[in-house]
Amino acid sequence: MFRTLLLACSLFVWLFGAPGVSAYSVEDYDRCSAVENREKRLQCYEEAAGRKPKTDVPALEPAGQPPGRAAIPAAQAPSASAPPTDAPAGLAACRDHDYSADRLRCYDEAARYSWWRCLTDCVWGTGLFRAKKTDGIEACKTLCDDKERLYAYDRLAGLNPKPPNTSSYLSKAWLLDERSREEAGRWAIRAHRENYFLVYTYNGALDRQPYESVNPGTRLQDPETKFQISLKMKLLEDIPIPILDKKADLWAAYTQLSQWQFWNWSNSAPFRETNYEPEALFNIRMGDELVRLGGEPLKLQFVQIGLNHQSNGQSEPLSRSWNRLVANFGFERVPFDVVLKTWYRLPESADDDDNPDIDAYLGYGELWAGYRGRTCGIDYHAALMFRNNLRLDDGNRSALQLAFDFTCVGPLNCYIQYFTGYGETLIDYNHYTNRIGAGVMIRDW
């Protein structure tokens, strides 16, 4: 039945189709449908239909070639019976794994790579001399970073991989350069702010009154668990800004911050406070060099304009919320990055305003600064947040957050956070907090 319809369509196109456009034959269909690689199969159909010259269509990959991988040149293509001459037998057997994590695991097993040995050699310098005197697999084993080691393995195995992405942190976070946009894809959901889970925190200045007054009989404890989930997604891209000769993207983001009395088992471990924060951000990709400091440029990477809503989803008397117009500015001098966040609170009627004096405590902006480094394949990140209401009288209020994280297990970083000041959450906007905690964070760079 399907072949009959295909022949009928072919006849219709032959009779009424545009000049120069041919139709599929049954033989063309059989030949193209046998191609396992999806992209190559589509190219075969295009060629058979005459919509793409044959000279523009690369040769089909042989059976067994992993889909989505760069084709190996004919001179380097391995035979079915033996690995290529320039690739060790163990590595040649691993390159058929299309999934990079599986391929790296196979490479490491074939090379007998030891993460601990690599780390100790790097820390103590014992592997440096060995690396200079060796090449091939032994040289690959001295690369403790997974992406760098996989790239070296792939080259040694005869593949043609792309070098690891060396774009800056802000470029990767907001897809400011072509390489980052290519790797992320258009509709990818990405980390927005930090995503972390502080298993144990201690707050020496916990404000018990608001929660306990609404929940009689509940006694809050100083130890808590604190976690944050923050994601963003690009809705529109490459919006032209003629005045600036730049392009912009429209993002939608959502952040949820929770403080959980997880250790308070005698009171059923209640959630003390959860803040919900959706926002829309119009991100202008700037990339302008402002000044050179020590040979490295300081760049204005982006300017953002947006609308932000934050609330805790509670009813009176615990309800807290506000709406803001925001303007953010991202600066970067690798490996340092600074984001200045400013806002203007949209007025509310006195009857609807749950926190009329919130500006007196949280002010009109905050500064985020970070330093990102790597040693011996271990990434680490030190961060600082500072906020002040810019009042010079007795009503001056501030907040400071210090954080440090480093490679721990797989995509998780070990994470330590210290917060002191006002406005850690909305319920505490006018109450002083002094909290320290430890846990894990999902690495976002």
Catalytic residues: 309, 311
Site of tokens 């947040």: 385
- Residue 439 and residue 196 in contact, taking contact as beta carbons nearer than 8 Å: yes
d(CA 339, CA 387): 12
CA distance to 70, 94, 101, per residue, from 97 (Å) = 13, 6, 9
Cα–Cα dist 342/329, whole Å:
9
Task: Find tokens 């404890």 and name the residue.
Answer: 221
Give the number of other Cβ atoms within 10 Å of residue 59's Cβ. Answer: 8
Q: How far does the chain reach from its first CA to its final CA, in angstroms? A: 52
Closest by Cα among 169, 139, 217 to 443: 169
Based on the number of CB atoms within 10 Å of its own CB, is 46 exposed (0-12), middle (13-18) or buried (19 or more)? Answer: middle
Q: Are 144 and 131 in contact (CB under 8 A)?
A: no
Quickly list DSSP for 363-405.
Answer: TTEEEEEEEEEEETTEEEEEEEEEEE----STT--EEEEEEEE
